[in-house]
Amino acid sequence: MSQSFKTDLLVIGAGPAGYTAAIYAARASLKPILVAGLQPGGQLTITTDVENYPGFAEPVQGPWLVEQMRLQAEHVGTEIHYDLITSCDFSRKTEDGYFRLEADSGAIYLARTVVIATGAQARWLGLPSEARLQSGGVSACATCDGFFYRGKRVAVVGGGNTAVEEALYLTHHADHVTLIHRRDTLRAERILQERLFANPKISVMWNTAVEEVLGSGKPETVCGLSLRNTVDGSLDTLAVDGVFIAIGHTPNTGPFRGQIACDEEGYILTTPGSTRCSVEGVYAAGDVQDKKFRQAITAAGTGCMAALEAEHFLAGLPASVP
């Protein structure tokens, strides 16, 4: 028979947003349950040196940082379940006022409030060499990693707003940025394109696709790219010290589609200045609702907001039934 768990606050996701929500909720004596999902730690698990999270004079490793968050959440009373929420019904509640959610294990979770902090995944090119070098010069976040490429040459892959914004940002650190796009026109907004073309530190390679990320040394780090012309099929190489993949992100909102309001890309819509979703008692924090900043510190901030808003909402309800 399936197990059933009942809680005032269910946190879904184990990244900075989820752990922060759980920490605040536990300290408010809400006895939260956190369901960790497929990738506990989120994007921090594939991040090496973290220099922009406040509180550390020296760089820290992403996996270590998120492990400290987990330990802190447990220390203050969070109950962590290593499972995956697969379905939910936010359209109705049980007679005593609980949402019902189901997990991959078959477990049933009954929660008076829910914080969705399932994050978003960067879209990758799907190359084995790209995956192999994700800790050696392949990145999906210029704001996170651009600082490490001071005085170096880097490439950005993509043709939309994100790619152009990443390329422009990287010019503050790198000596030269090459934007690689598989078509002959960009999808980015016109004003961004004008800034791109006016920047002397940026060059564009049109009709070009990345065939392979080249690495060298021990430990292996990016040294270049193998490129293919999408028009005539000719091959070329480009020497770079790092490559930023900027072809978009996919929010992890599968189980919640059709249950709460999302935008056309699948990001959860929240009330401006709040983490409230379209369903009362449901909140969203972190990259699952933020497609602009996508930083660990902003995710943690919205996790805090979600827990505080959930606590305030619960305070207006009758006491829960054990």
pLDDT at 142: 92
Q: Are residues 60 and 77 in the same domain?
A: yes
Residue 162 belongs to a domain with what CATH number?
3.50.50.60
Catalytic residue among 88, 144, 223, 277: 144
- In the chain, which stretches have pLDDT less than 70? 1, 48, 320-322
Catalytic residue among 145, 241, 287, 290: 145
83 is catalytic: no
Does residue 321 sit within a domain? no
Q: Pairing state of beta strands 108-116 and 99-103?
A: antiparallel
pLDDT at 321: 56
277 is catalytic: no
pTM of the model: 0.84
What is the rounded CA–CA span in Å between residue 170 and residue 140?
Answer: 12
Can you spell out the DSSP letters for 119-177?
-EEE-----HHHHHTTTTTEES-HHHHGGGGTT-EEEEE--SHHHHHHHHHHTTT-SEE
Q: Are residues 46 and 193 in the same domain?
A: no
Domain end, chosen from 225, 246, 267, is at: 246
pLDDT digits (tens, 9 = 90+) for 72-126: 999 999 999 999 999 999 998 988 899 999 999 999 999 999 999 999 988 999 9
8 is catalytic: no
What is the rounded CA–CA span in Å between residue 35 and residue 111?
Answer: 12
What is the rounded CA–CA span in Å between residue 284 and residue 120?
Answer: 12
Number of domains in the chain: 2
Q: Are residues 235 and 278 in the same domain?
A: no
pLDDT digits (tens, 9 = 90+) for 222-237: 999 999 999 999 999 9
Domain end, chosen from 246, 278, 293, is at: 246
Does residue 117 sit within a domain? yes
Is the bond preceding 200 in cis, omega lying within 30 degrees of 0?
A: no
Q: Are residues 148 and 193 in the same domain?
A: yes
Q: Are residues 202 and 303 in the same domain?
A: no
C-alpha 12: how far from chain center: 14
What is the rounded CA–CA span in Å between residue 130 and residue 201?
Answer: 25
> Among all chains, which residue has been given the structure tokens 């369901």?
35
pLDDT at 7: 97
Does residue 322 sit within a domain? no
Q: Pairing state of beta strands 249-251 and 242-245?
A: unpaired
- Domain containing 183 equals 125-246
What is the rounded CA–CA span in Å between residue 257 and residue 48?
Answer: 32
pLDDT at 131: 94
